Amino acid sequence: MKELIQKNKLSVAILTLPLWILLYVSLEPLTHAIVYSLLSLPQNEHLTNAIYFFIFEVPKVLLLLTLIVFAVGIIRTYFSPEKTRSALEGKPLFVGNIMASLLGIVTPFCSCSAIPLFLGFVEAGIPLGVTFSFLIAAPMINEVAVVLLFGLFGWQTALLYVSTGLVIAISAGWVIGKLKMERYVEDWVYKIKADHIAVEEEESSFNTRIDRGIDAIKDVVGKVWIYIMLGIAVGAGVHGYVPENFMAGIMGKDVWWSVPLSVLIGVPMYSNAAGIIPIVQALLGKGASLGTALAFMMSVIGLSLPEMIILKKVLKIQLIAAFAGIVALGIIIVGYIFNFVY
Amino acid sequence: MNIKVLGPGCVNCKTLEHRTIEALRALNISATIDKVVEYSDIASYGVMRTPGLVIDGKVVVQGYVPTVDNIKKLIQSSTN
């Protein structure tokens, strides 16, 4: 039996899909049954609303996350930093920034690999500005954030986040390129001479790609499920108990300083997207404005203090400051635009 | 046989090291295992994703943690 499954991973994966769909569509009636029939909680009370929200949203987001992380895990087996690097070699500045930002979304990346990747790009002569477009897009536009935005806010907000994230990555990288900051990279970086030995690609049968997808589920979902539960629990509390328009005075669109302030608070916060997005979603219902909420989430996810400390190993402080400043400015502009439009 | 585990000390790097030791023990092969932690040294192997595994100077793994069985196969194919 086990061997049979090993050989036919694709069929197993395809057969699991209807089960997934069945589970997903029965979440709402199931929650309804649990909350009102099984627990027989009174309708339209704060506590009931909070419990309903929690019971419904946690499995929904986890189901979505499992599916998307699996799919992204498989898609990423078709990309690698090596391929991305050769695709970017010799590209002119602006085109390079666009390509780097797009590839940043699909290329396998974790913040622990940021330095080796940076060194690999610089060593191959990829311009600094193009490298930065990649380094900005890769963490900011990640599958966990997109799934949570899609699940809790709807596809419009998810799309908005991805597209504005791309614009920020492209333009911030372009500006850094124009500023000619190459001399603010640590000197030893330019002395590295890497062997360009062909690294053997892992045998890429579809079975191993599916294995990578399952690894991604174990890795990502295994890491973030607790934050999702905590975030949604806090969100549920906010939904049930915080009065309407409570946030309007701090995060409302008429408060001009709310956008820069939320970025200022967001940057040093290293909560992962999984914990922060459900809380922001709940605040949005209490009078916070979309632009401010978006700016806050982008600064939490896209700009993190630990990442900057890691980058200190290869970049001088001036370049780190320029990088953080330009991205923060981009996020603030996006926040204002959305507060103005909506 | 010389094996190098490339990585700045993240969880994955440690897992890779443990699994490599386990694979060697299972195969009853003795080898020296070096840890390469400096970024400049990691980069000089052309590796852009950690963790990385180098067997006798050849990069065989980068960017994922293979299973013990897979490491066994990698070791065996480089002894041949």
Domain boundaries, chain B: 2-79
Closest partner residue to A116 (CB to CB) among B48, B58, B64 is B48
A210 vs chain B: nearest CA distance in angstroms? Answer: 14
Of A213, A201, A206, the closest CA to residue A7 belongs to: A206
Residue at A147 is within a domain:
yes
A41 shares its domain with A166: no
A174 shares its domain with A42: no
Per-residue pLDDT reduced to its tens digit, A293-305: 989 988 988 888 8
Partnered with residue B36 across adjacent β-strands are B6
Q: Which of B41, B45, B49, B71 to mutate to test the interface with A (most CBs of A within 10 A)?
A: B49
A143 shares its domain with A30: no
Q: Which of A113, A201, A205 to mutate to test the interface with B (most CBs of B within 10 A)?
A: A113
Residue at A19 is within a domain:
yes
Is B61 strand, coil or helix?
strand
A307 vs A329: CA distance, rounded Å: 18
**Cβ separation B48–A120 shorter than 8 A:** yes
A255 shares its domain with A316: yes
B59: enclosing H helix or E strand? strand B58-62
**In chain A, pLDDT over 90 holds for what percent of residues?**
37
Span A101-121, average pLDDT: 86
Span A83-109, average pLDDT: 90
Q: Is pLDDT at A200 greater than 70 in this prediction? A: no
Residue at A36 is within a domain:
yes
A95 shares its domain with A27: no
A128-140 and A81-88 helices, crossing angle to 10°: 140
Q: What tokens appear for A116 in the block?
A: 């080796």
A148 shares its domain with A267: yes
For residue A26, what are the CA distances in angstroms to A135, A253, A336? 40, 37, 39
Q: pLDDT-derived band of residue A264, with 50, 70 and 90 as boundaries?
A: confident
- pLDDT value, residue A56: 93
A60: enclosing H helix or E strand? helix A46-76
Flag whether residue B39 sits within 8 Å of chain A, measured between CB atoms: yes
- pLDDT value, residue B66: 87
Cβ-Cβ contacts under 8 Å, B67 against chain A: none
Contact A210, A10 (CB under 8 A): yes
A17 shares its domain with A128: no
Query: For each of chain B's 80 residues, which pLDDT tens digit applies?
Result: 899 999 887 788 899 999 999 999 999 988 899 999 888 888 888 888 888 999 998 889 888 888 899 899 999 888 77
Span A200-207, average pLDDT: 67
B63 vs chain A: nearest CA distance in angstroms? Answer: 8
Q: Is pLDDT at A66 greater than 90 in this prediction? A: yes
Residue at A228 is within a domain:
no
A262 shares its domain with A294: yes
Bond from prior residue into A139 cis (ω within 30 degrees of 0): no
Closest partner residue to A199 (CB to CB) among B39, B44, B59 is B59
Residue at A235 is within a domain:
no
ipTM score here? 0.82
- pLDDT value, residue A303: 85
**In chain B, pLDDT over 90 holds for what percent of residues?**
41
Architecture of domain B2-79: 3-Layer(aba) Sandwich (3.40)
Residue at A178 is within a domain:
yes
- pLDDT value, residue A203: 59
**Cβ separation B59–A200 shorter than 8 A:** yes
Closest partner residue to B49 (CB to CB) among A116, A123, A212 is A116
B54: enclosing H helix or E strand? strand B52-55
B3: enclosing H helix or E strand? strand B2-6
B13 vs chain A: nearest CA distance in angstroms? Answer: 10
A57 shares its domain with A7: yes
Cβ-Cβ contacts under 8 Å, A188 against chain B: 40
A63 shares its domain with A101: no
Residue at A115 is within a domain:
yes
Quote the domain boundaries for residue A150: 90-192+241-341
**Cβ separation A313–B39 shorter than 8 A:** yes
Partnered with residue B55 across adjacent β-strands are B3, B58
A170 shares its domain with A259: yes
Span A258-269, average pLDDT: 86
